[in-house]
Structure 1
Amino acid sequence: MDQLMSIVQAINGILWGKLLIVFLCGTGLYYTLKLRFVQIRKFGAVIKQTFGGLTLCGEKADAEGMTSFQSLATAIAAQVGTGNLAGAATAIAAGGPGAIFWMWIAAFFGMGTIFAEAVLAQTYKVRDDHGQVTGGPAYYIRDGFGSKWLAGFFSITIILALGFIGNMVQSNSIADAFNSAFGIPTIYVGIGVAILGALIFFGGIGRIASFTEKVVPVMAVLYLLGGLYILITQAANFVPAVKMIFVGAFDPRAATGGLIGVGVKEAVRYGVARGLFSNEAGMGSTPHAHAVAKVKHPAQQGLVAIMGVFIDTFIVLNMTALVIFSTGAIDGQTTGIALTQRAFELGLGSFGNPFIAICLLFFAFSTIIGWYFFGEANIKFLFGSKGLTPYRILVMLFIVLGATLKVRLVWELADMFNGLMVLPNLIALIGLAKVVSRALDDFESDGTLKTK
């Protein structure tokens, strides 16, 4: 077991040390320039496309797919997860307050990447053996980029990374939080989460869409209201908190008085890495949700996808960071979800710990639903619809198992498979850049897609 841990850690050191950070940021920069800063030029259209005619009770998803907002909600369900609570705190503890600034930079360029992912997912979506619309990177890698081998590799890694191992991590986070806040045994929490998950899994795309369009807005508003209350009560510390972010980006020791002894290199590394992991731009996960959106033009869903990164990083993740800074929770030792809990306890008193436990349930459970859905699309790609029932049962078992384990290897394996699934997706994104830019040009000219 120790030898396996060493191997996995060595692979992660290569993947997440420099390779993926450079590759992901480079792809985002490339698309930002190629698409002429679409995330700025078209931000008004992003808002209009996302929230025009918004309702929490949209039409029922069917074989034709989901509404555009339901697809976004499913994507955000995966994006806004434990990374927004624990990931931001980990980045701050390891890279100082300036890590948040570099998270912003990663998210800004990531908006270009995620636009491209959504456009390609829409362009190359297909129907499965039951006539249901489906799509994602495996499909545009195979049908657009022309590599069946890379498509198959992507499908296998994302099923392992998100559907199985990733959902173990999410259930573990829920179980630990509820055990800490309410004293509930982790096995019971795991069983409860698995049962709730099964009720949605077996309901198909209709139930998934109905769940995400209602729960995602509610969970985001709940968390933001709690954080906003703390920021109001700590109003005198708000400006110094924002200042810490900008000072820490270029002089980390000055931002905390040397409490966190890191340099600019660490601030950049942890900010960019955790930022990319949080918003998932370029990782190949959210395109599965955007592929099934009912839109007239692929670029429309590309614009909606940009909003997903904006909400994840510039709204939810920022709230976590500002609460941590405003409450003075940084002590140089506490990290991860414990740092976020400490901040909310300082801000909300005895209600802080239960509040974070409840928010974590929403965030992590919605991520389980989103990641299950992404894995489902790839099960269809590899095995057809006949593979869905075994997959659903296995996901439930992994959820229960994950709640009871405290094995560091599980987290390391999740990071490894997350990293491996990114590579074929980014290769295809670069190779299909002309398809993306042509789609945007066509949309801007007359709103129709003339060619693939």
Structure 2
Amino acid sequence: MPEFLSFMNEILWGSVMIYLLLGAGAWFTWRTGYIQFRYLRHFPKSLKRSLSPQSGGLTAFQALCTSLAARVGSGNLAGVAIAITAGGPGAVFWMWVSAIIGMASSFAECSLAQLYKERDASGQFRGGPAWYMSRGLGMRWMGVLFSVFLLLAYGLIFNTVQANSVSNAMHFAFDLPKVVCGVGLMIFTLLVIVRGLRSVAKLMQWLVPIMAALWMSASVIISLWHLNQIPMVIETIIRSAFGWQEAAAGAVGYTISQALTSGFQRGMFSNEAGMGSTPNAAAAAASWPPHPAAQGIVQMIGVLVDTLIICTATAMVLLLAGYDTAQTSVDGIQLVQKAMAYFAGRWGAEFVAAIVLLFAFSSIVANYIYAENNLIYLKLNSPRNVWLLRITTLVMVMLGTMLSLPVVWQLADIIMALMAITNLTAILLLSPVVRIIASDYLRQRKLGVKPVFDPARYPEIEQQLAPGTWDDVPRQ
């Protein structure tokens, strides 16, 4: 089985996904007028505006924190360690590239999710890739296919990855039995997910900033402590990314390939740009200003925070500790713990265990919310089916504490690639709509007015929208 999974990963990530991610990111960067670069200085202002509460949905900040809860998981710790051991320090550089380019893809998918959202029976906004595949492309079959992939990924496989990292970290730091860790995770997860989307969003708007700040603070302290080594670390990352260190050995092609593949794999698992998961949270927001592009810009901040800040923090801890070569006998999260213990002794390993517990727990909860959202799209959200999904999620969390790490990560990579291929195909087909959204927003910004989306300006788009979704938006 591991050999077959490895073969599938080699096919999907050896060429298909790399070209698709790079191509889609570059395409949307151009089609949106390089929006991730043009609006970089406006991110703080967009984040401040996202706090404004609106009727019918989450605040944009709550949607951002919910999406960050799914993004900021074990991929930011164990994933970075695995990327470095598999592809060398150069993998960090390609993680940065995947984030910068992926910001445009994230803008595209999240703006589309906002545009094609609809209200559920309780009046809460719902949406995501399945909805824009259905409404925007008229391809419900594609929406169903994507929803099935997402249910497999977020209801099953990804939660095993998170639970696996938690159990390994807690066992390494506190010698805690993995069964005890699994049972504890199951109980706390159940207590949160039964409260629904709004309660989860309210929890995440407090939990996510706190846990991110804790990890960032530790990394900054270590980096300042070894400030004289930072230039050397950055040089090592760049030289390794292009194979300059290995040129004399004649291994340039292999080294670049490994670094690029590992960087993009782990980068995408971490920031989820283009994968189609984040739009499920983005659609739930009542965006302010009332324009689809506003939520797309806010969600770009999530990619920036996740990969360029949090993942870089992990990479710095690892590389400053000297863990820049393959250590197959140590899994990803234990490698991070060993690196932190190098600087802070036993306390360091325990601190990482606590951080990964927070990261993974928030991811498991957000993953479930995404899965339940697509159960609603499939019209299978009867109480019996919802409880079946909850029980299955909890069982997979428990199993995740027992499974071997390579199998878990390989399954995650495959399902992630299938989701991304389906979603990227859809948003590329909808790129004319993305261009309209971006152009409309930028036009109004240039005029110095508050951007407001008026569907009447675009009759072809208006007839695809859910009735009543944008009717209460003030017309220009």
State the TM bucket, normalised to the shorter chain.
Answer: over 0.9
Structure 2 match to 1:42: 39
Which of 356, 368, 382 pairs up with 1:360?
356
Structure 1 match to 2:345: 349
Counterpart secondary structure, 2:378 = helix
Q: State the Cα distance separating 1:318 from its structure 2 match.
A: 0.6
Query: 1:101, 1:245 within 8 Å by CA — same for their partners in 2?
Result: yes
Q: State the Cα distance separating 1:305 from its structure 2 match.
A: 0.9
Letter in 1 for 2:452: T
Counterpart secondary structure, 2:77 = helix
Aligned pairs (5 A) from 1:18-57: 18-52=15-49, 54=51
Distance change (3 Å), C-alpha of 1:89 and 1:252: farther
Q: State the Cα distance separating 1:413 from its structure 2 match.
A: 2.5
Alpha-carbon displacement from aligned partner over 1:162-198 (angstroms, at most 9, x marks no partner)? 1112112211211111111111111111111111111
Counterpart secondary structure, 1:131 = coil
Aligned pairs (5 A) from 1:378-389: 378-386=374-382, 387-389=385-387
Structure 2 match to 1:425: 423
Alpha-carbon displacement from aligned partner over 1:224-272 (angstroms, at most 9, x marks no partner)? 11111211222221121122112222235369999x9962222222222
Question: Is 1:72 aligned to 2:76, yes or no?
Answer: no
Counterpart secondary structure, 1:282 = coil
Which of 289, 297, 300 pairs up with 2:294?
300
Letter in 1 for 2:125: V
Alpha-carbon displacement from aligned partner over 1:384-417 (angstroms, at most 9, x marks no partner)? 4313222122212221222233374443322222
Distance in 1 (CA, whole Å) between partners of 2:277 and 2:261 is 22
Distance change (3 Å), C-alpha of 1:297 and 1:349: same
Aligned pairs (5 A) from 1:29-428: 29-52=26-49, 54=51, 64-251=56-243, 253=245, 263-295=255-287, 296-333=290-327, 336-386=332-382, 387-406=385-404, 408-428=406-426
Distance change (3 Å), C-alpha of 1:72 and 1:50: same
- What is the TM-score of this pair, normalised by structure 2? 0.88
Q: How many residues align?
A: 444
Letter in 2 for 1:449: F
Distance change (3 Å), C-alpha of 1:335 and 1:393: closer
Query: 2:74, 2:161 within 8 Å by CA — same for their partners in 1?
Result: no
Structure 1 match to 2:466: none
List gaps (5 residues or longer) in structure 2.
Answer: 445-450, 462-476
Which of 429, 437, 445 pairs up with 1:439?
437
Counterpart secondary structure, 2:322 = coil
Distance in 2 (CA, whole Å) between partners of 1:347 and 1:148 is 53
Between stretches 208-217 and 243-252, larger displacement belongs to 243-252
Letter in 2 for 1:413: L
Query: 1:129, 1:384 within 8 Å by CA — same for their partners in 2?
Result: no
Query: 2:50, 2:298 within 8 Å by CA — same for their partners in 1?
Result: no
Question: Is 1:10 aligned to 2:7, yes or no?
Answer: yes
Distance change (3 Å), C-alpha of 1:408 and 1:275: closer
Alpha-carbon displacement from aligned partner over 1:418-438 (angstroms, at most 9, x marks no partner)? 221112211110011111111
List gaps (5 residues or longer) in structure 1.
Answer: none
Q: State the Cα distance separating 1:440 from its structure 2 match.
A: 1.4
Distance in 2 (CA, whole Å) between partners of 1:403 and 1:191 is 10
Between stretches 106-115 and 81-90, larger displacement belongs to 81-90
Counterpart secondary structure, 2:136 = helix
- What is the TM-score of this pair, normalised by structure 1? 0.93
Between stretches 419-428 and 336-345, larger displacement belongs to 336-345
Distance in 2 (CA, whole Å) between partners of 1:231 and 1:211 is 31
Letter in 2 for 1:374: Y
Q: State the Cα distance separating 1:335 from its structure 2 match.
A: 5.8
Distance change (3 Å), C-alpha of 1:20 and 1:254: closer
Between stretches 98-107 and 26-35, larger displacement belongs to 98-107
Alpha-carbon displacement from aligned partner over 1:126-161 (angstroms, at most 9, x marks no partner)? 122443321110000111111111111100011111
Distance in 1 (CA, whole Å) between partners of 2:322 and 2:196 is 45
Alpha-carbon RMSD? 2.4
Distance in 2 (CA, whole Å) between partners of 1:199 and 1:357 is 22
Percent identity for Structure 1 against Structure 2 = 38
